[in-house]
Chains A and B, each alone.
Chain A
Amino acid sequence: MSGPTGLVVEGLRKGFGGRTVVDGVSFTLPPGGSLGIVGESGCGKTTTARMLVGLERADGGTVHLDGVDRSMRPRGRAGRLERARGIQLVFQDPYVSLDPRIPVGACIEEVRRLHFPLDRADRRHRVAELLDQVGLGEREAAELPRRLSGGQRQRVAIARALAAEPKVLILDEAVAALDVSIQAQILDLLAGIRRASGVAFLFVSHDLAVVRHLTEEVAVLRGGRVVETGPTVRVLTEPQHPYTRLLLDSVPRRGWDPGRIAAGRRAPA
């Protein structure tokens, strides 16, 4: 073996009640790299992300992180923690992903206590640092989630995910539930975190513009299959697959023609 190999996903499959939702998805995310997964709503993005963090059991395929197989459910505390430090997830909707009973600073501290029980002395300091990294201060730390805005909550969720110091951070539509103006702030924040921390990003979105901001590589998902992968810039400027072209055309901009898109959408079934 020559150094860490990153996240390697091969032939991942999942069905619900006989309907295949993720159908042989493969991709690679190098250490510290960034990969976007784009596709229309319902194409299996969230299901894929959930399988990667172990919230959903895959029907088939393998997931390796730096050569370690993640397909099996971990046994025991050490395995569980190790696995958690591999991949963390930021959920789509920050209005339901934070425990309403727990002040947000404490919820980040909990993660530190779980994963780094030994550095008791500077735990508070690390928590403050994590919050600072997402632009939150002591005042916000003492609040319950319901006292914070959607953008602030998502910042907390990002800090909470980073608290475990994961190798890979999955962001599942992490800005979709937020106002457009707030979206830009969070995307800037994420770009900064990526530069500063070296954590690999798996950025899941139905929005190509969002992916363009943040990822070097992109995989286009359609009906549970990857139809195109490549450097984000190339895929977005010279799409090879008709479906990618369609997705690109669906982004409103100058010369945008909804009629042509609708017609195109009907054509390549």
Chain B
Amino acid sequence: MSAVLTPAVRRPLLRRLRPLGNGPLFTVAVLVLGVLVLVAALAPLIAPYDPEALDLRSSLVGSSADHLLGTDQSGRDVLSRLLYGARTGLLGPLLVVGLSTAGGLLLGTVAGWRGGWADAVLSRLMDLVFSVPGLLVAIMFVAVAGPGLTAPVIAMAVAYTPYVGRLVHGLARQEKARPYLESYRVQGWSGWTICVRHLLPNIAPTVLAQSAINFGYALMDLAALSFLGFGVQPPAADWGAMINDGESALQQGATMPALAPSVCIVLAVVAFGIVGEGIADRLARRER
């Protein structure tokens, strides 16, 4: 008989995350995300110009002391737009991840805990949503509701829900069979109470890891939608929309207006991926 440690180890979240700092890549990724959040929060304080202020006389100025990253075709300061762009850049994915995590937790827990027909129905439903390309749904939503942040966010939240739901489904099934959770059932607790008070805290770290990865993908998808003109509309500062804008600048030989937001998107997506994988790795190692 070995002293079997149950996989979902339960220590306060922060203490659990601290040892992750071992990998330098992980540390850099966390720093990148920290800077991103700071920039989004402080954009109005640190942006040198109004991101939407047109100045057609200084269109496509190269980088200079006045405009560190130059200006775009309409003479707007690229750096200011980049800093403000971090706001929608983070807000959209935050909503998508928040909604899809909530939805996935609900569907996955009910399916995994209840089993039987509830499991069958919910699993089929998630398979169905899973099989429809999210971007396509988003474009349909935009066709109905009009462009902006709302329609793409709702569509992407729906599209991402099965990713979380399937993960939670498996975790819930696995945890339900563990004696420590079974003992709550023997004690007479309702399934609802057991799930909320004991199951969720125990699977939360694994779900969090998945959500961090999803955050990056959502950022990319929303940027793609803006780029295609279905998302946040110009003149609002949005990285995807900026790349779209920057296309014409490219033809005139100015790379910065398109390049800068592209770099930001790639950095953010990669950083979220590394952080998510880092957490997942750590949990997997602990399970062994």
Q: Do A and B bind each other?
A: yes
Chain A residues in the interface with B (C-beta under 8 A): 53-55, 77, 80-81, 83-85, 88-89, 91, 93, 95-101, 110-111, 114-115, 146, 150, 157, 160, 164, 176-177
Q: B190 in the interface, Cβ–Cβ < 8 Å?
A: yes
Q: Quick check: A111 and B180 within 8 Å, CB to CB?
A: no
Distance in Å: Cβ of A88 to nearest Cβ of chain B: 6
Q: Count chain A CB atoms within 10 A of each CB in B4, B6, B188, B202 and give the residue with the most.
A: B188
Residues on the B chain within 8 Å of A93, using CB: 1, 4, 179
Given A55-B182, A91-B179, A95-B1, 15 additional A-B pairs, CB 8 A: A53-B186, A55-B185, A85-B188, A89-B186, A93-B179, A96-B180, A97-B179, A97-B180, A99-B180, A99-B181, A99-B184, A100-B180, A101-B202, A150-B3, A164-B187
Distance in Å: Cβ of B182 to nearest Cβ of chain A: 6
Chain B residues in the interface with A (C-beta under 8 A): 1, 3-6, 9-10, 178-190, 198, 201-202
Distance in Å: Cβ of B15 to nearest Cβ of chain A: 13
Docked CA distance A80–B190 (Å): 8
Residues on the A chain within 8 Å of B179, using CB: 91, 93, 96-97
Residues on the B chain within 8 Å of A177, using CB: 1
Docked CA distance A164–B188 (Å): 9
Closest A-B pairs by Cβ, 9 of them:
A84-B188, A101-B10, A97-B179, A91-B179, A81-B188, A177-B1, A99-B180, A80-B188, A96-B179
Residues on the A chain within 8 Å of B10, using CB: 99-101
Q: Would you mind naming 21 contact pairs between A and B with Cβ atoms under 8 Å apart?
A: A53-B186, A55-B182, A84-B188, A85-B188, A91-B183, A93-B4, A95-B3, A95-B5, A96-B4, A97-B179, A99-B10, A99-B180, A100-B9, A101-B10, A101-B198, A111-B187, A114-B188, A160-B183, A164-B188, A176-B1, A177-B1
Distance in Å: Cβ of B203 to nearest Cβ of chain A: 12
Docked CA distance A77–B187 (Å): 12
Residues on the A chain within 8 Å of B198, using CB: 99, 101
Docked CA distance A128–B183 (Å): 21
Residues on the B chain within 8 Å of A100, using CB: 6, 9-10, 180
Residues on the B chain within 8 Å of A81, using CB: 188
Q: Quick check: B1 and A101 within 8 Å, CB to CB?
A: no
Q: Quick check: A96 and B188 within 8 Å, CB to CB?
A: no
Choose from B6, B9, B186, B201 the contact partner of A96 (Cβ within 8 Å): B6
- In the complex formed, the residue of A with least CB distance to B9 is A100
Docked CA distance A148–B56 (Å): 73
Q: Quick check: A96 and B190 within 8 Å, CB to CB?
A: no
Q: Quick check: A114 and B187 within 8 Å, CB to CB?
A: yes
Distance in Å: Cβ of B173 to nearest Cβ of chain A: 15
Q: Quick check: A88 and B186 within 8 Å, CB to CB?
A: yes
Distance in Å: Cβ of A225 to nearest Cβ of chain B: 26
Distance in Å: Cβ of B283 to nearest Cβ of chain A: 14
Residues on the B chain within 8 Å of A164, using CB: 187-188
Choose from A83, A88, A95, A114 the contact partner of B189 (Cβ within 8 Å): A114
Residues on the B chain within 8 Å of A97, using CB: 179-180, 182-183
Docked CA distance A177–B179 (Å): 14
Residues on the B chain within 8 Å of A95, using CB: 1, 3-5
Choose from B184, B190, B201 the contact partner of A101 (Cβ within 8 Å): B201
- In the complex formed, the residue of B with least CB distance to A83 is B188
Docked CA distance A95–B186 (Å): 17
